[in-house]
């Protein structure tokens, strides 16, 4: 049996990276896969995110509405099984529980059963227990021979007293639950990102007081070497391995020089499964754990990358900022026949993709019905389009193709509806039926003999999307206006009768151009091509020169770091305090050991900014 723990740093990007959830899970070739930091909210759960063929899934999402905590954490456990029913596979849990306090959803509670505090936690109030369980940081699965805790431990800065207290309460309550299970003779596996590096060997830059941190002391107190019940399986198998890290800062390129920390763990406690388990040489690690290691192939920075880190500006690394850790187990016998517990995602009707919502049903119906398109019997000049506004009543259904208010000579036939938004927006405004009077824009194309009908607000929306000027167009504006004006004076004749309000607008011939003012310009095709080419070259030259000038000004204002004499990168202080929002410059090289001349030199300089009072 193989168990994998992996902080995915967002489940959706990891699924996108591998193409599907199934491909991501299969890449580990493991029986139990535990993800942390899924960043999924309960209302965002979809079948394609948490359900895969051949796996039973158990998910916990954040339940708090606290600012900055919604959709922040989340854990998920996936169990590879051949059958979810009447199975004796160890990977299929006998029971499952969301959270670890007993107050959230659990598979062993009957219908209508009131939540009850888990055994061993009676000394804590329900408010204390619910607070530590609301952030979606734990899934417990009972596999018969052992109980598995999938944990995403809280992170707390030393100066954030509120989060330090939360983290302390979280682990204090969790330890009480573990101790109670051990007293009952249970075997326990604890896997996940605990956000704690236990010793100096597990951190790249450990100072003299590193191991005096209260949470590091707490984690070491759980271990057998310090009088506790748990074994750090990785250290038991690799006691002298240095630079064995599982997490690296995202913004500093620390993976380049393996400058990280080991905070993802697999711990275990309890007796072995042999009859003579009380013998001194018998314990769960010596008898049942074959190997435990870090899956370095999942690191974002691959060995042999040819490009150099430059302050994250030009480097986009695909993957999580953590590496998975796995443990291989031996001689784990089958369990009595059982089926997937009720907490499995397969039984959750709220997961999108299992139960149809009203909106999804309407969208599917709409896609099946199709849209109305119009064929134009009138003939127009070749190669010209006319954009007109019309107000047409939609009487009846699209199925019958009954549309009124069209121009004479137009016939309608029912085909696929092009946009899904139009149906939803029309339903919202009319209480579920079609709008009787729907303003629209009709684009009539002579070559294709099609009309594309769009709601008026949809047309405005598309116009707004393209209304933002690009940097190149900003520098082109003046040159375009001047060239059009010159071309107008030299090659055009203005017919005022064509632009009068009393006469209809004539459709210009194919060799006629329309100016911004609405006038028609007739010009020689060869001369037009020459003028357009010269105008394009002039516009490109002006934009290029201006962009180079801006780049030079920006480059001159960026300081050079002291060691490498290279341009620094600008960053902004995000931490709350007097310097919040202030810009500063640092060395652009990847973070690494100070002894490595190729690593970040530690250069720092505040950006010069004008006082707000000036």
Going by the DSSP 8-state scheme, the letter that residue 121 receives in this structure is -
∠ CA 573-249-257, nearest 5°, is 125
State how far the Cα of 59 lies from the Cα of 8, in Å rounded to an integer.
14
Is there a contact between 192 and 6 (Cβ–Cβ < 8 Å)? no
Q: Using the structure block, give the residue that is written with the tokens 């969208």.
A: 363
∠ CA 221-246-308, nearest 5°, is 145
Angle of the 161-183 helix axis to the 214-222 helix axis, nearest 10: 10
Beta strands in 394-472 (DSSP E): 410-414, 437-445, 450-455
State how far the Cα of 265 lies from the Cα of 325, in Å rounded to an integer.
7
Q: Is 486 a catalytic residue?
A: no
483 is in an annotated binding site: no
Hey, which residues does 570 pair with through a beta bridge?
585
State how far the Cα of 8 lies from the Cα of 10, in Å rounded to an integer.
5
Is there a contact between 566 and 590 (Cβ–Cβ < 8 Å)? no
Helices and strands: H and E segment counts in the chain: 14, 22
Q: Which of 288, 322, 520, 603 is catalytic?
A: 322
Q: Please report the DSSP string for 584-608 in residue order.
A: EEE--SPP--TT-TTS----EEEPP
Give the count of alpha carbons within 13 A of 444, CB side only.
Answer: 18
Q: Which of 6, 55, 142, 152 is catalytic?
A: 152
Angle of the 525-557 helix axis to the 471-491 helix axis, nearest 10: 150
- The widest CA-to-CA distance across the chain, in whole angstroms, is 108
Buried/exposed code over 88-112 (b: 16+ C-beta within 10 A; e: otherwise): ebbbbbbbbbbbbbbbbebbeeeee
Q: Is 259 a catalytic residue?
A: no
600 is in an annotated binding site: no
CA distances from 491 to 512, 531, 534 (A): 11, 11, 16
Hey, which residues does 261 pair with through a beta bridge?
203, 247
Q: Is 152 a catalytic residue?
A: yes
Three-state DSSP state, 44: helix
Listed residue (400, 407, 418, 402) closest to 376, CA to CA = 407
Is there a contact between 285 and 236 (Cβ–Cβ < 8 Å)? yes
State how far the Cα of 322 lies from the Cα of 34, in Å rounded to an integer.
13
Is there a contact between 207 and 244 (Cβ–Cβ < 8 Å)? no
37 is in an annotated binding site: yes
Give the count of alpha carbons within 13 A of 600, CB side only.
Answer: 26
489 is in an annotated binding site: no
Phi-psi region of 394 (alpha: psi -120 to 50; beta: other; left: phi over 0): beta
503 is in an annotated binding site: no
Q: Please report the DSSP string for 495-531 in residue order.
A: -HHHH-SSSPPPPPPTTEEE-TTS-EEE--HHHHHHH
Hey, which residues does 203 pair with through a beta bridge?
261
495 is in an annotated binding site: no
Residues with a catalytic annotation lie at 152, 193, 322
Residue ranges for the binding site for Mg(2+)?
7, 37, 193, 195, 321-322
Which residues are annotated as part of the binding site? 7, 37, 193, 195, 321-322
């Amino acid at each position: 049996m193989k168990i994998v723990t992996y902080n995915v740093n967002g489940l959706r990007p990891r699924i996108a990276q591998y193409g599907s959830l199934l491909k991501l899970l299969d890449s580990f070739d493991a029986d139990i896969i535990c993800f942390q930091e899924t960043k999924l909210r309960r209302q965002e759960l979809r079948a394609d995110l948490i359900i895969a063929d051949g796996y039973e899934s158990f998910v916990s999402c954040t339940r708090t509405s606290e600012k900055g905590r919604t959709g922040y954490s989340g854990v998920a456990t996936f169990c590879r099984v051949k059958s979810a029913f009447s199975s004796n596979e160890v990977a299929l849990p006998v029971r499952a529980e969301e959270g670890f306090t007993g107050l959230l959803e659990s598979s062993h509670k009957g219908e209508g059963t009131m939540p009850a505090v888990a055994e061993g936690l009676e000394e804590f109030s329900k408010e204390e227990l619910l607070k530590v369980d609301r952030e979606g940081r734990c899934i417990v699965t009972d596999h018969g021979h052992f109980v598995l805790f999938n944990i995403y431990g809280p992170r707390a800065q030393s100066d954030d007293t509120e989060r330090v207290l939360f983290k302390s309460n979280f682990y204090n309550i969790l330890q009480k639950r573990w101790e109670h299970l051990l007293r009952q003779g249970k075997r326990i596996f604890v896997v996940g990102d605990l956000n704690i590096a236990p010793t100096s060997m597990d951190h790249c830059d450990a100072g003299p007081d590193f191991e005096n941190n209260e949470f590091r002391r707490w984690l070491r107190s759980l271990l057998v070497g310090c009088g506790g019940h748990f074994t750090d399986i990785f250290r038991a198998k690799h006691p002298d391995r240095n630079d064995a890290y599982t997490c690296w800062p995202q913004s500093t390129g620390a993976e380049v020089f393996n400058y990280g920390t080991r905070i993802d763990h697999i711990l275990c406690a309890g007796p072995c499964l042999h009859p003579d388990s009380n013998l001194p040489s018998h314990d769960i690690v010596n008898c049942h754990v074959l190997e435990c290691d870090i899956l370095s192939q999942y690191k974002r920075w691959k060995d042999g990358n040819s490009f150099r880190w430059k302050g994250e500006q030009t480097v986009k690394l695909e993957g999580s900022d953590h590496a998975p850790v796995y443990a291989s187990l031996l001689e784990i016998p089958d369990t009595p026949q059982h089926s997937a517990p009720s907490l499995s995602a397969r039984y959750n009707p709220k997961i999108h993709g299992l139960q149809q919502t009203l909106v999804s049903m309407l969208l599917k119906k709409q896609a099946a019905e199709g849209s109305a398109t119009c064929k134009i019997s009138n003939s127009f000049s070749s190669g010209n389009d006319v954009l007109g506004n019309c107000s047409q009543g939609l009487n009846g259904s699209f199925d019958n193709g009954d549309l009124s208010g069209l121009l004479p000579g137009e016939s309608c036939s029912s085909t696929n509806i092009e946009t899904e938004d139009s149906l939803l927006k029309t339903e919202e405004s009319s209480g579920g039926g079609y709008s009787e009077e729907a303003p629209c824009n009709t684009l009539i194309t002579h070559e294709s003999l099609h009309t594309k009908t769009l709601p008026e607000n949809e047309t405005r929306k598309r116009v707004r999307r393209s209304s933002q000027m690009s940097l190149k167009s900003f520098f082109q504006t003046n040159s375009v206006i001047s060239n059009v004006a010159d071309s107008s004076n030299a090659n055009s004749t203005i017919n005022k009768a064509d632009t009068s309000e009393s006469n209809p607008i004539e459709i210009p011939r194919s060799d006629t151009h329309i100016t911004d003012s609405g006038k028609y310009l007739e010009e020689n095709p060869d001369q037009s091509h020459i003028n357009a080419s010269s105008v394009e070259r002039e516009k490109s030259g002006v934009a290029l020169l201006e962009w180079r000038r801006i780049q030079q000004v920006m480059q001159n204002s960026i300081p050079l770091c002291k060691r490498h004499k290279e341009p620094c990168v600008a960053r902004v202080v995000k931490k709350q305090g007097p310097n919040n929002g202030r810009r500063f410059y640092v060395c652009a090289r990847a973070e690494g050991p100070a002894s490595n001349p190729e690593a970040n030199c530690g250069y720092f300089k505040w950006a010069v900014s004008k006082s707000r009072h000036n």
